[in-house]
């Protein structure tokens, strides 16, 4: 009975968990850790959304089993959001399903559409569920680059030419977690044409749809005419409305894929708690000023972080979207690798970041920094990092 279970043997080590455990131990010991490691929003949801949750929770008949695919009102609200935001028309009955966050939706769809041995194309580096969900379902992962340049298209073509069996699914995630890279509509137009030519399903993870900066809104793959023939898209309320713990997400698009996901979910769950679904309706249908306010707040944090870390001696590229920065290790310390560097930042500077290697081998040499602390804490993190870099003999700019 000592043999490890089949699916457990197929799972790669979860590298990020090692740093998470160290962070928890440091906090338990009373150390003040500035946590820029996990993308856990530090802002509250809108007040009217919490009020709706409480109002519906007071109703005696609101505590039974709910609808696995989402109550009609929440599916209609999501369809209306796509109409307002992307000018995309969706049928709430056949092209929208509610999920318990985009993470559960991706994993359940992987279960629904994947046969053992299927080849799935996933970005590297990428958010772990993009690969883990399909590995658990029995698929084989073939990596493609995350950066959307010509090398990306060459990699797709090689995958179709040399993979046996031919890949059946491609996962895309822009704005990217962890790299914060973005794409324009022309990229999606080319991608949809490629998918139709090669008979590949596209799963687009658009979890950071509303966290864009500098006045450049993110685009949806479903804006491309005919995209619903080959694509579904996942969104989440976790970051948009600071509702991460509520576990509210959606899949929309291709009817065949939505039907498969809906059917699998009907065997696995009874849907989110009804008061949560009602409150999510209030978020989608109500005032949207909180969305812009959060966007502006994250943009200001980004500017503060890039400036303060730069003055500390660590140049960080300014992200165009998402709540993350994807930062190359300081050149003088690149030899450490991202895991050891992350451990040293935690123990020596009391700043937690996520090692890039935890998002795939191509993430080595980078760390992901989440902008989930306020500006004062970000500046404190920069001061701590400056002391650490100086102690390591890294030349840092003189204080201004």
- Which of the listed ranges 170-174, 272-276, 336-340, 359-363 does the model predict with the highest average pLDDT? 170-174
pLDDT confidence of residue 84: 96
Are 31 and 70 found together in one domain?
A: no
Q: What is the CATH number of the domain that holds 294?
A: 3.90.1150.10
Are 242 and 105 found together in one domain?
A: yes
Residue 366 lies in a domain: yes
Please determine, for residue 2, whether its predicted confidence score (pLDDT) is greater than 70: no
Residue 399 lies in a domain: no
Are 149 and 272 found together in one domain?
A: yes
- The burial class, CB within 10 Å (0-12 / 13-18 / 19+), for 292 is exposed
pLDDT confidence of residue 310: 96
Please determine, for residue 15, whether its predicted confidence score (pLDDT) is greater than 60: yes
The residue from 233, 265, 287 where one domain ends is 287
Residue 1 lies in a domain: no
Q: Do the beta carbons of residue 90 and residue 223 sit within 8 Å?
A: no
Average pLDDT, the chain: 92
Are 240 and 313 found together in one domain?
A: no
Pairing relationship of beta strands 351-352 and 34-35 according to DSSP bridges: parallel
Are 104 and 149 found together in one domain?
A: yes
Are 68 and 196 found together in one domain?
A: yes
The residue from 287, 318, 333 where one domain ends is 287
pLDDT confidence of residue 346: 94
pLDDT confidence of residue 400: 41
In order of 45, 320, 337, the CA distances from 146 in angstroms are 31, 15, 20
Q: Do the beta carbons of residue 221 and residue 249 sit within 8 Å?
A: no
CA dist 73 and 63 (Å) reads: 17
**Structural domain count, the chain:** 2
Percent of the chain residues topping a pLDDT of 90: 77
Residue 400 lies in a domain: no
pLDDT confidence of residue 396: 63
pLDDT confidence of residue 22: 87
pLDDT confidence of residue 6: 78
pLDDT 10s digits, 152-163: 999 999 999 999
pLDDT confidence of residue 151: 96
Mapping DSSP to helix (H, G, I), strand (E, B) and coil, where does residue 355 land? strand
Residue 397 lies in a domain: no
Domain that holds residue 319: 6-44+289-392
Are 67 and 168 found together in one domain?
A: yes
Q: What is the CATH number of the domain that holds 208?
A: 3.40.640.10
Average pLDDT for residues 341-365, to the nearest whole number? 94
Q: Which residues touch 221 (CB under 8 Å, ≥6 apart)?
A: 172, 188, 191, 192, 202, 204, 206, 227, 231, 233
Structure-block tokens of residue 210: 């509303």
pLDDT confidence of residue 1: 58
Residue 253 lies in a domain: yes
Residue 125 lies in a domain: yes
**Crossing angle, helix 129-136 and helix 101-113, to 10 degrees?**
40
Residue 4: band (very low, low, confident or very high) from pLDDT cuts 50, 70, 90: confident
Are 247 and 101 found together in one domain?
A: yes
pLDDT confidence of residue 397: 65
Average pLDDT for residues 283-304, to the nearest whole number? 94
Residue 179 lies in a domain: yes
Structure-block tokens of residue 76: 């209609």
CA dist 223 and 220 (Å) reads: 6
Percent of the chain residues topping a pLDDT of 70: 98
CA dist 206 and 191 (Å) reads: 15
pLDDT 10s digits, 128-154: 889 989 998 999 999 999 999 999 999
Are 312 and 179 found together in one domain?
A: no
The residue from 271, 287, 303 where one domain ends is 287
pLDDT confidence of residue 244: 85
Are 136 and 208 found together in one domain?
A: yes
pLDDT 10s digits, 232-280: 999 998 888 888 888 989 999 999 999 999 999 998 888 889 999 999 9
If one counts every other C-beta atom within 10 angstroms of the C-beta of residue 184, the result is 12
> What sign for the dihedral angle of Cα 252, 257, 263, 267?
negative
Are 274 and 297 found together in one domain?
A: no
Structure-block tokens of residue 327: 């930062």
pLDDT 10s digits, 211-240: 999 999 999 999 999 999 999 999 998 888
Are 243 and 256 found together in one domain?
A: yes
pLDDT 10s digits, 77-107: 999 999 999 999 999 999 999 999 888 899 9
pLDDT confidence of residue 399: 45
Helical segments of the chain, H only: 6-10, 15-28, 47-57, 72-86, 101-113, 129-136, 150-162, 185-198, 255-268, 274-285, 289-311, 338-344, 375-391
């Amino acid at each position: 009975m000592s043999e490890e279970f089949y699916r457990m043997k197929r799972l790669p080590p979860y590298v990020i968990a090692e740093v998470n455990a160290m962070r928890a131990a440091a906090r338990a010991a009373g150390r003040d850790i500035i946590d820029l490691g996990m993308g856990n929003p530090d802002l509250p949801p809108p007040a009217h959304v919490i009020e709706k949750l409480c109002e519906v929770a007071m109703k005696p008949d609101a505590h039974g089993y709910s609808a696995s695919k989402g109550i009609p009102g929440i599916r209609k609200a999501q369809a209306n959001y796509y109409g307002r935001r992307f000018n995309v028309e969706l049928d709430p009955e056949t092209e929208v399903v509610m999920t318990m966050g985009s993470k559960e939706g991706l994993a359940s769809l992987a279960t629904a559409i994947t046969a053992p041995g299927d080849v799935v194309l996933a970005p590297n580096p990428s958010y772990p569920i993009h690969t883990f969900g399909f590995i658990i379902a029995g698929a084989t992962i073939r990596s493609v680059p995350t950066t959307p340049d010509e090398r990306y298209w060459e990699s797709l073509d090689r995958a179709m030419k040399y993979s046996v069996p031919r890949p059946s699914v491609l996962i895309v995630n822009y704005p990217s977690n962890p790299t914060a890279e973005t794409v324009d509509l022309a990229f999606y137009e080319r991608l949809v044409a490629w998918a139709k030519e090669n008979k590949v399903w596209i799963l687009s993870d658009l979890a950071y749809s509303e966290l864009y900066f500098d006045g450049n809104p993110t685009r949806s793959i479903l804006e491309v005419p005919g995209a619903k023939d080959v694509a579904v898209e996942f969104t989440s309320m976790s970051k948009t409305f600071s509702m991460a713990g509520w576990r509210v997400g959606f899949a929309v698009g291709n009817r065949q894929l939505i039907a498969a996901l809906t059917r699998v979910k009907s065997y696995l769950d009874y849907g989110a708690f009804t008061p949560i679904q009602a409150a999510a309706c209030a978020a989608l249908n109500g005032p949207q000023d909180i969305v812009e306010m959060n966007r502006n707040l994250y943009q200001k944090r980004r500017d503060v972080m890039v400036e303060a870390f730069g003055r500390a001696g660590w140049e960080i590229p300014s992200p165009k979207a998402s709540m993350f920065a994807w930062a190359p290790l300081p050149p003088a310390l690149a030899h450490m690798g991202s895991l050891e560097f992350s451990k040293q930042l935690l123990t020596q500077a009391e700043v937690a970041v996520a090692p890039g290697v935890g998002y795939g081998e191509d993430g080595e040499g980078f760390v992901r920094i989440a902008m989930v602390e306020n500006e004062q804490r970000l500046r404190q993190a920069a001061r701590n990092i400056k002391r650490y870099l100086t102690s390591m003999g890294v030349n840092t700019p003189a204080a201004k």
